[in-house]
Amino acid sequence: METLQEKHVVITGGGSGIGAAITDALAEKGTRITIMGRKLDRLQEKVKTIKQAFAVSVDVTDLDQVEQGFAKAVANHGTVDILINNAGNAISVPFHKMGLEDWNTMLAVNLNGVFNCTQACLPSMRKQKWGRIINIASTAGLKGYAYVSAYCAAKHGVIGLTRALALETALDGITVNAVCPGYTETALTEAAIENIFQKTNYTKAEVQMQLLQNNPQKRFVQPEEIANTVFWLCQHDSKSITGQAVPVAGGEVM
Ligand code: NAP
């Protein structure tokens, strides 16, 4: 089997949580890595521990920053072969209390960010007739959850984009897939627990128990489990898998 050693992978949000686990997993396979995010200090701390890794400060919602960031990535490590659209954020608020600003923020980071970064890489992937695009969506892209309607709408949008783009790139050696984590033990889930705790009379332990009830295995998914799935989809031998939304959620959706 060919290896991924010669490949250049860009991971948005690669400095923390799921993105950091993906960074570690792909670094172990010898890929050249660029991680992107807004907090350059954290990204630089992360790349210190990894050979052939490079950090670029990019807000994925800003097209100019994305174009400049990808130009730096290409100048440093060559054409982008694999794009992991992982950057994301979740605001929790009942729909009737949600303002347009929250709605736009959720679409900007979770959906437009995927558009911006994919536009930046796709022409060169088409040219070289090889590419992998993996969008870290969510089970919230496959089902509804109360109080996160904008996040759900954005993640459903990511899965729609994944399916359509898979068809448009099917003859170009490119696969486009979504990975859909259930509740995963990261800062994002910690923030969700804190937010519910602040707004209700539940203790943090009770909130945690409620979130765990979503997963039939009654546990939080670990970031490394998402990273394993991403690695599987990156491989040459996974070339027939495209346009899929793969839940990693202990059986929460099926
Ligand atoms: P996390 O640790 O908070 O990571 C989110 C990452 O996204 C951070 O590294 C952050 O970096 C980056 N980011 C956020 N806004 C950005 C922006 N505008 N531009 C560039 N980077 C941005 O949370 P996580 O759980 O690992 O989340 C990773 C992905 O998994 C997200 O797409 C999330 O929706 C998805 N997901 C998570 C769960 C879960 O339960 N944790 C479940 C399903 C799906 P900076 O702050 O440096 O910008």
pTM value > 0.85: yes
Instruction: For each of the domains in the chain, give its residue range(s) and CATH number, in order of start.
Output: 8-91+107-182+221-247 (3.40.50.720), 183-220 (no CATH)
Residues 118, 133 contacting (CB under 8 angstroms):
yes
**pLDDT value of residue 51:** 85
Coil, strand or helix at 111: helix
Closest atom of ligand 1 to 137 CA is: 44
**pLDDT value of residue 12:** 98
Instruction: Give residue 2's pLDDT band: very low, low, confident or very high (50, 70, 90).
Output: low
pLDDT in tens, 118-172: 999 999 999 999 999 999 999 999 999 999 999 999 999 999 999 999 999 999 9
CA of 131 to the centre of ligand 1 (A): 23
- Is 145 a catalytic site residue? no
Q: Which of 146, 154, 144 is nearest to 200 (CA)?
A: 146
Q: CB within 6 Å of ligand 1 — which residues?
A: 12-13, 15-19, 37-39, 42, 58-61, 86-90, 109, 136, 138, 181, 183-184, 186-189
Q: What does residue 162 show for φ and ψ, rounded to 5 degrees? A: -55, -45
pLDDT in tens, 81-108: 999 999 999 999 999 999 999 999 999 9
Instruction: Give residue 115's pLDDT band: very low, low, confident or very high (50, 70, 90).
Output: very high
Beta strand 82-85 pairing with 174-181: unpaired
